[in-house]
């Protein structure tokens, strides 16, 4: 159990840039220890992606639960979150103190713009698995495109309730995809 917590503290510390970064790290550690086979791990990641919640947390919970039950699930998640919790909350205090220093202003100037590039990358990646396909030849999934337009209109109309649009998306998916 202690090994489990330490392992996830380590993973939490080296997850920089979001939960997806954690997946290969966890894979290496967990498969090498023989806690899960590679196949088990891959199907677990599929589950983590198809259930709500941050992907990294889902994987941590699963690994902990498989080996040590409910306590393991809680311990793995706790270990995973601990480093970032401590680091980020200290950063919050530092940020409050130094937000107007010229160095911080200029860091944010570039970081924020860079993040737009990263979100753009995530956007294109998701479009490429849902609507457009370029492999082996360029093709468009017209049903998905139509649903995308319908959902965009619904999203605009239900601006106050974005979570409801997720539910509607799931229902439309069950019906048409």
Partner 1 sequence: MVSIIQIFLVFLKIGAFTFGGGLAMIPIIKRELVSRGWISEEELADYIAVSQTAPGMIAVNIATLVGMHLRKWKGAFFAVLGIVLPSLVVIMLIATGLKEFAEIPIVVSALKGITLVVVILLAFAIFDIGKNAIKDIITLLYALLCFSLVFFLDVPTTLVILLSFVLGTLRAFILAKKARKKL
Chain residues 89-118 in contact with partner 1, contact rule CB under 8 A: 89, 91-93, 95, 99, 102-103, 105-118
Q: Does 35 bind partner 1 (CB under 8 A)?
A: no
Smaller CB distance to partner 1: residue 1 or 118? 118
| One residue of 32, 134, 135, 163 binding partner 1 per CB under 8 A | 163
CB 73 within 8 Å of CB 63: no
**DSSP 8-state code for residue 20:** G
Do residues 40 and 30 make contact, with C-beta atoms less than 8 angstroms apart? no
Name beta bridge partners: 120.
none
C-alpha distances in Å from residue 61, one per residue of 20, 56, 80, 91, 173: 15, 9, 10, 26, 27
Residue 38 near partner 1 by CB under 8 A: no
Residue 2 vs 103, nearer CB to partner 1? 103
Q: Which lies closer to partner 1 via its Cβ, residue 121 or residue 140?
A: 121
Q: CA 5 to CA 25: how far, in whole Å?
A: 15
The smaller minimum CB distance to partner 1, of residues 1 and 126, is found at 126
Site for partner 1 (CB under 8 A): which residue of 1, 33, 120, 157? 120
Within residues 46-75, the interface with partner 1 by CB under 8 A covers 46-58, 61-62, 65-66, 70, 73-74
CB 177 within 8 A of CB 144: yes
Instruction: State the minimum distance, in angstroms, from the CB of residue 60 to partner 1.
Output: 8
Collapsed DSSP state (helix, strand, coil) of residue 177: coil
Q: Based on the shown chain and the rule CB under 8 A, indicate whether residue 36 belongs to the binding site for partner 1.
A: no
Q: CB–CB of 60/80 below 8 Å?
A: yes
Kindly tell me which of 6 and 126 has the beta carbon lying closer to partner 1: 126
Residue entry with tokens 């139509």:
146
Question: According to CB under 8 A, which one of 6, 88, 140, 157 is a site residue for partner 1?
Answer: 88
């Amino acid at each position: 159990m202690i090994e489990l917590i330490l392992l996830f503290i380590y993973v939490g510390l080296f997850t920089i840039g979001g939960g997806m970064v954690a997946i290969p790290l966890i894979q290496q550690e967990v498969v090498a220890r023989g806690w899960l086979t590679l196949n088990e791990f891959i199907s677990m990641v599929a589950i983590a992606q198809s259930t709500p919640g941050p992907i990294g947390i889902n994987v941590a919970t699963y690994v902990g639960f498989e080996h040590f039950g409910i306590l393991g699930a809680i311990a793995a998640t706790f270990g995973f979150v601990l480093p970032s919790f401590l680091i980020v909350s200290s950063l919050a205090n530092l940020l409050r103190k130094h937000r107007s220093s010229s160095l911080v202003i200029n860091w944010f100037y570039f970081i924020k713009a860079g993040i737009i590039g990263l979100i753009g990358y995530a956007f294109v990646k998701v479009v490429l698995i849902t609507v457009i396909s370029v492999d082996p030849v360029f093709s468009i999934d017209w049903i998905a495109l139509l649903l995308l337009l319908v959902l965009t209109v619904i999203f605009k109309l239900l601006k106050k309730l974005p979570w409801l649009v997720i539910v509607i998306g799931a229902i439309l998916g069950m019906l048409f995809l």
